[in-house]
Amino acid sequence: MEPNEPEKAKVKTFDKCPLCSLKEWIIKHFGLDETIPEGKGFFADIVKRMKENGLAKEGWDFCYDQRTGPVANEQMLKTLPTGAQVPSYFFKTDICSDCGCIYVTKLEEGTAQKKPQIVLPTNIPANRAERRRMERNN
């Protein structure tokens, strides 16, 4: 299954750690005497510094992990005909440099289309030149 690019339905991005954002809200709401965490992503900070030094292009984006796939189990995918579309997901994660929490930075929902399975032959017969070479060696 491969993601179908033009039909991306929903994209959500998160630029701050959810735990640090909650801590910031609690500090502000209750007027606590603590420092407010920045909640920056570790890899987002690295990319920012690389861009400032001219080592990374403007469109580059690093992350801790990224995953993509169809929202279906293997049995269901086997029974689907070629060209069938199923819901798919994509997400990127980062690590908070303040609290160490792993959180999602980008979340996408879309569709994926089943591609035809290409089965390569496992036993390819030798051509005439290879047969003659094998006969000479025997």
| pLDDT tens-digit map of 90-131 | 999 999 998 999 999 999 999 999 888 887 777 777 788 888
- Residue 89 — pLDDT band, cuts 50, 70, 90? very high
- pTM of the shown model: 0.68
CB crowding 24-41: b at 16 or more within 10 Å, else e: beeeeeeeeeeeebebbb
For 15-65, how does the pLDDT look when each residue is reduced to its tens digit (9 = 90+)? 889 999 998 889 888 988 888 888 888 998 899 899 999 998 888 888 999
Nearest to 69 by CA among 114, 105, 102, 104: 114
